[in-house]
Amino acid sequence: MKENIINYLPVGENEIRWGITVSSIGYQFVEAKSDYPVKGHPIGYTFNPRLGRVINEYAIIYITKGSGVFNSVDTGIVQLKEGDIFFISPGQWHSYQPNPLTGWDEYWVTFHGPNCDLILEEILNIANPVFNIGMNEKIVHLFCEMQEYANNQNAGFQRVLSGIIMHILGLIHSINKNQTFKDKDIQLIQKACILMRENICNKLKPEDISEKLNLSYSSFRKLFKQYAGIAPHQYMLQMKLEKIKDLLGSTDMQIQDIALELGFESADYFSYFFKSKTGINPLSYRKEIEQQREKACNISA
């Protein structure tokens, strides 16, 4: 039998400093033709769907069964269906409720803190706060994981909850962003990334990759940047930098040999490139890794 879960959480000063604080987390199943909201919510959170409400924090509500409506001062009435997840913003008048003929199942979380506006700036458009992410088991699992931590309230549980919120926001953003691309375009970008990785030690240029994909370079660059957030040239440099760090930290290869391996014109340019990206030269980086390794060995001895 399904069971409603309603948790309103204590918040201390130390938790507020963390940047994101969860104030409530729960799950509700609302049968057809039943009252909504269900009982158990404190004043300030319960509301009359006809009159709506305003809260001073963010909320995420995920509908996993049934249908209903969402209404806000910024959106007007929006129809909701299974697989929809929607956001409520601080100070925003809003109302929502299930369709009396279907009811619904909902997971929700409310949260606030100084980092929320910055994080949600890239994800949330208050004029269009509803995302259809479909039935996503991973997000349901994360909601259930939050409920478990909220029930136990072990030391530091708010820190864990804030991390899970970040994970959920990242997944929503990723799912929504991928929906804007055609499958064939995603496959092209994935193929480009594989080519970059497989040819990291070769002098393969982004223009060469676009040619292999039968795309003009301008079309390839635009598509890649929309998908990955950076230009293909910058992406290749990041991959090359990670490979350099790996070789410096895990091998005894000489600097000039690493430079030659990765297609740099000279050891001097290789060192200049590495320092411009990391702030230290390759030898200093290798020395730091060796010191950390020795320290770890001494502690475990």
* Tens digit of each residue's pLDDT (9 = 90 or more) over 201-256: 888 889 999 999 999 999 999 999 988 888 999 999 899 999 999 999 889 999 99
Q: 90 preceded by cis ω (within 30°)?
A: no
* pTM (predicted TM-score): 0.72
C-alpha distances (whole Å) from 179 to each of 129, 173, 186, 208 are: 16, 10, 10, 28
Joined together, the tokens standing for residue 274 give 């590495």
Q: How many CB atoms lie within 10 A of CB 194?
A: 10
Task: Count the residues in the chain.
Answer: 301
| pLDDT value, residue 180 | 79
| pLDDT value, residue 299 | 72
d(CA 246, CA 72): 51
| pLDDT value, residue 244 | 92
| pLDDT value, residue 1 | 52
- Does the structure show a pLDDT above 80 at 26? yes
- Does the structure show a pLDDT above 80 at 138? yes
* Tens digit of each residue's pLDDT (9 = 90 or more) over 279-289: 999 999 999 98
- Bigger pLDDT: 181 or 108? 108
Share of the chain above pLDDT 90, in %: 57
| pLDDT value, residue 103 | 95
Residue 107: which of 143, 66, 148 has the closest Cα? 143
- Does the structure show a pLDDT above 80 at 134? yes
Can you tell me which residue has the tokens 């030690």? Answer: 201
- Does the structure show a pLDDT above 60 at 44? yes
| pLDDT value, residue 58 | 96
| 121 SS3 class | coil
d(CA 117, CA 90): 10
Interval 183-204 mean pLDDT: 86
d(CA 282, CA 241): 11
Can you tell me which residue has the tokens 């259809």? Answer: 132
Interval 21-49 mean pLDDT: 90
- Does the structure show a pLDDT above 70 at 131? yes
User: pLDDT tier at 301 (50, 70, 90 boundaries)?
Assistant: low
| pLDDT value, residue 198 | 86
Rg (CA), the chain: 25
* Tens digit of each residue's pLDDT (9 = 90 or more) over 259-278: 988 888 888 999 999 999 99
d(CA 210, CA 119): 33
| pLDDT value, residue 200 | 86
| pLDDT value, residue 125 | 86
- Does the structure show a pLDDT above 90 at 165? yes
Interval 1-18 mean pLDDT: 76
Domains along the chain with CATH numbers: 5-179 (2.60.120.280), 183-297 (1.10.10.60)
Residue 62: which of 146, 118, 150 has the closest Cα? 146
| pLDDT value, residue 300 | 61
- Does the structure show a pLDDT above 80 at 296? no
